[in-house]
Amino acid sequence: MPTPTARRRDVGLRAMAVVLTAAFFLAPLALGPDRLDDFPRAFLAYWSAGGTDFPPDLQHAVDHQFRYHLIRVLIAVPLLAVLVTLTYRARRFRLPLGALALAAAVLLIANVQGAVSPFGTLLPHLTAGPADTRLVVLAQVRDQLDHGPVSPPLGVMLDEYVRWHVVKGTLVGLLAAALTGLAVRSWRPRRWLSLLLAVLAVAALVVVAANVSTVVNPGPPFLLLLQGG
């Protein structure tokens, strides 16, 4: 039987989880509009200039993207901590709370990626630009990747793309290790839960392997990204 103090603590943790969840989705709105529709035009100016420095419009988009993901990281960290604590404390609701904690971990990973590689997270939005311009850029990128030399703008893009996947592979690897540890610990009391956690750990390891493959040979998946695949 939980004590009144323990019940109050659990109520407080649930309230924190609700507030942090709302903040995760609402707080970034304070940054104002993202103006992602302007990204293809700003990118074309950057690509045409041939240097590594971002023009003002593109720098604004990158800065906005960085702040957006940083805010979410700063909220997702305590949200994950609260959900993990609730999962440990609330035995009756351990499975749904554990699922929410896993979702929070996935969101944290995605936003750490965005904060570390804000320009990289913008690249998929190139598909929103004019098709003829995008096809010209794709042809130039493909030619540089196949025959060289790699231009300064493409070098920056590849660095951001690889960094994005290094971070994802590392963080998902840590998640896989945590899931494996929980699967081992749960084997005796709840074998079905242990098997579920093991399946999730294997899925995470598949994601890690895919990211390692991308880091080793980034060219083909990078082209696929620019094509909208």
Q: Is the peptide bond before 78 cis (omega within 30 degrees of 0)?
A: no
Q: Give the distance from CA 113 to its chain's centroid.
A: 4
**Model confidence over 91-102: pLDDT tens digits?**
788 889 999 999
When pLDDT is averaged across residues 138-160 and rounded to a whole number, the result is 92
pLDDT classification of 206: cutoffs 50, 70, 90: very high
Domain extent listing, the chain: 4-226
**Model confidence over 103-135: pLDDT tens digits?**
999 999 999 999 999 999 999 888 777 777 778
What is the reported pLDDT for 100? 96
What is the reported pLDDT for 229? 64
**CA–CA separation, 101 vs 1, rounded Å?**
25
Structure tokens at 70: 């940083």
Instruction: Provide the percentage of residues in the chain whose pLDDT is more than 90.
Output: 70
pLDDT score of 1 more than 70: no
pTM, 2 dp: 0.91
When pLDDT is averaged across residues 20-43 and rounded to a whole number, the result is 90
